[in-house]
Amino acid sequence: MRSLVSSRYSRGDVGDARNVKDVAANAAFEALKRMVDECDAFEYVGTPRARPRNETYENDDVDALVSLTDATFVLTTRSCKTSFRNARWVCVKGKVIDSCAPKRLRVLVEKHGYAASLSHAFIFMHALVQGFRHVTIVEDDVVFSTAARRDLIEELREVIRGPATRWSFVRLGYRPLFLERQHKYSSEKRRDGIFSCPDECACEKIGTRTCRMSASGCDVRSSHLYMANSIVFKRAIRFLLDASDERRIIDCFVLQRFRNQIYATDSVAAQEVLDFPVELQEGYAKLFTRLCVR
């Protein structure tokens, strides 16, 4: 009987804790909503200009790619160096967002990873309020490759125009950390040939340039270039604002929680500011395609 009584109290305690967490989550959500309304963190860029017929522009395909969604946001610290001449986009200033954070959200800007994640949550909330169906988010340290081909653009156009339930995020630049860890392990143990694709990372081809990762939980990092479907906005915001969860960093343990992610089988972009060079980033992305795309 004693164990039965204690188990009832345990269930009650769990229920109370869950209720407290829900209240805190709702309060944080509303605080962010007010913050988005009051914080002047966006620098709006003019509409694309007309171009003379004989003028060429090396980023035409990239511009067409980011124009597939309702809005494009370039996330920086203070001033955007990335720009799109032939696409509508908004510069989002992370330092301004940090300064706008109310007391309830101040804990979210104590570390860089958390602060950057608050900026992503800020963009999601703005998109939610504005009623956007989908958005593209670009971090300002992005380095575009030559993989933004027209066939990729057309395949993604079909995905975005199709049923919203068929995709959550489109990952255009990514870092398959599980492969890096396998490489590190093999180097430490002086073993060869241990690269493999975990079941949760299997990506089924849906076109010549795209695949769908149906499962969640695959440890693929980086948030420097991706698209987000409106069906994930609220849930992603709640994950990013959960101060009780140390894993609330956008590309570490938030993106990985969502199923039905679409991947460009040739990574469109790498990161300029990272702990290893662009060439190695591209190499791991190609290894991901070779091992996991089926």
**pLDDT tens-place string over residues 12-49:** 554 555 666 788 899 999 999 999 999 999 998 755 55
**pLDDT band, residue 186 (cuts 50/70/90):** low
**For the residues 155-179, what does the mean pLDDT come to?**
96
Averaged confidence pLDDT in the chain: 87
Main-chain phi, psi angles of 118, to 5 degrees: -65, -35
Alpha-carbon distance of 144 to 133, in angstroms, equals 25
Q: What angle do CA 98, 101, 102 make, to 5 degrees?
A: 160
**pLDDT band, residue 51 (cuts 50/70/90):** very low
Tokens describing residue 79: 């001033």
- CB distance 68 to 84 below 8 Å: no
The pLDDT score that the predictor gives to residue 5 is 40
Alpha-carbon distance of 45 to 63, in angstroms, equals 14
Tally of domains in the chain? 1
Tens of pLDDT, residues 218-253: 999 999 999 999 999 999 999 999 988 888 899 988
The domain containing residue 275 runs over which residues?
Answer: 2-49+57-292
The pLDDT score that the predictor gives to residue 147 is 59
* Strands of the chain, DSSP E: 42-44, 71-76, 90-93, 134-139, 142-144, 169-171, 175-176, 204-205, 210-213, 220-221, 225-229, 261-264, 269-271
- Determine how many CB atoms are found less than 10 A away from the CB of residue 147: 20
